[in-house]
Structure 1
């Protein structure tokens, strides 16, 4: 197969109340969702109402955010940074110890593996940037009615921030959602879902040992290698029913 386009990445500086938080490598699509998702995932905002104004300046590679409350830039600059594994070399200000303090996830939603495989296929077919380039990550939310929302980016963390930003802005109920991602689920990826309150994560690749440990502690279900007719259930929350004979069994 010949791809027509290459993946795009641009340096985008996020400014909060006039303070430059950092410059990130991003795909320009859905930058408003990314900004809200990133600020929410990092605990800087708790709801869209915390924001007064959000402006995208693509010409100068800046996202300008104004909050209603004061932002203590000096205190923020002193926080320990944790650089994320893998693509994009993102940064998070939550350690594993911090994430363990998040509320445990309470949801009664259960699904079958065949349902997850079906939604993963729909996700893949509705990822236009990946289909054009072959080099994009994606993140997808599945609601209780089976509707999907997809966001894409050159970085797996950015894609998850984008789709979570959409959920925060739309006021979606996290207990009814499933998060699917093309990227590896590491502890900081797990923390993004946990911060919002999503109880089920599926990925087409692997989850790290640290992410699985945190997921079990926070009562989140992680399913890895969701592709074709295969998957691996890493956790044991009882939210995924194995109705596919070729699916790998639960892992300790």
Structure 2
């Protein structure tokens, strides 16, 4: 089954005092239920691409796995919307140790950072990297230029993993958490060291997003949108630099400003 991330739909558009009939592109939503060792673990609502990365990244961010070799068997049934994961260590996984919930695609019911597994998997940033102010602006511009699905539909979030000069990988999803999990999954599958990397993000830096960045292990988070106060408190404690409102030739540094230089 070849899943599509967008579909065409005939709409009636009102512009300049007139109605016009035209074809528009809208993003797809795809519910994916993850089964771990035969137990239903969670249902993610996502964009139907890079699903293997999404599942592996999600399991890692939730503390179910740390490395890809902890997975014995992995299959996805796209036609039914199920991912089946069998772990090598079947004795130590109990779904009751985690909070089972349906995670929506955006701002509804999200993940709360006080869960025990979040405490176990969040990392304090330790790398002493720094980047120039111009690089912050350049990386955000590169992310926006890469986001063709957003340009066509306006309905997705984008995330990119960068080094101190350029984008390494970008991922897109209707859910901002999903885009980050796809990045996480890609890094695990390709054994990419992330402690010296930068996360560039299109959405708001919420506490959940900041926690995702901490679990991934990056030191700098750059966003074109705003942070929340709780996210900034977490960033201060976890030694993460947060940069927001990267628009045009300006931005704001909220925490650990020493990593951004002139």
One of 173, 190, 214 as aligned partner of 1:153:
173
- 1:92 — aligned with what? 111
2:233 is aligned to 213
Q: In angstroms, what is the RMSD of aligned CA positions? A: 2.6
Residue in 2 aligned with 1:249? Answer: none
Scaled by the length of structure 1, what TM-score is found? 0.86
Q: Given the alignment of the two structures, is residue 28 of structure 1 paired with residue 48 of structure 2, yes or no? A: yes
* Counterpart position of 2:155: 135
Q: Counterparts in 2 of 1:218-237, with a 5 A limit?
A: 218-237=238-257
Q: Which structure features the higher share of strand residues?
A: 2
Deviation (angstroms), 1:169: 1.5
CA distances 1:29-64 after superposition (whole Å, capped 9, x unpaired): 101111111111111101111111221211111111
Structure 1's 85 and 95: CA in aligned 2 closer, same or farther, altered over 3 A?
farther
Larger Rg: 2
Structure 2, unmatched stretches of 5+, are 1-14, 16-21
Task: For structure 1, list consecutive stretches of 5 or more residues without a partner in the other structure.
Answer: 244-252
Report the Cα offset of residue 114 of structure 1: 1.2
Q: In 2 relative to 1, CA 198–44 (structure 1 residues): closer, same or farther, beyond 3 Å?
A: same
When structure 1 is superposed on structure 2, of 124-133 and 78-87 the one drifting more is 78-87
- Are 1:193 and 2:213 counterparts? yes
Aligned pairs (5 A) from 1:1-252:
4-70=24-90, 75-77=94-96, 79-80=98-99, 87=106, 89=108, 91-92=110-111, 94-95=113-114, 99=118, 102-144=122-164, 146-241=166-261, 243=262
3-state SS in 2 of match to 1:89: coil
1:203 deviates by 0.9
Offset, 1:222: 0.6
Tell me: CA distance 1:71–1:124, structure 2 relative to 1, closer, same or farther (3 Å). Answer: farther
Judged with a 3 Å threshold, the aligned counterparts in structure 2 of structure 1 residues 185 and 45 are, in CA distance, closer, same or farther, namely: same
Give the whole-Å Cα distance in 2 for the aligned partners of 1:223 and 1:151.
20
Are the structure 2 counterparts of residues 137 and 70 from structure 1 closer, same or farther at C-alpha, using a change threshold of 3 Å? same
| 1:67-100 C-alpha deviation (Å, 9 max, x unpaired) | 1111656x43354568889815354364178756
SS of corresponding position for 1:176: coil
Contact preservation (8 Å) 1:205, 1:226: yes
Separation of aligned partners in 2, 1:148 and 1:115 = 14
Give the Cα separation in 2 of the matches to 1:81 and 1:22: 6
For residues 207 and 136 of structure 1, the distance between their equivalents in structure 2, rounded to whole angstroms, comes to 18
Q: Post-superposition shift, 1:163?
A: 1.0
In structure 2, C-alpha distance between the alignment counterparts of 1:97 and 1:22, rounded to whole Å? 17
What SS does the corresponding residue of 1:22 show, helix, strand or coil?
strand
* 1-structure distance, mates of 2:117, 2:70: 22
1:72–1:82: structure 2 CA closer, same or farther, 3 Å change rule?
Answer: same
How far off is 1:166 after superposition?
0.7
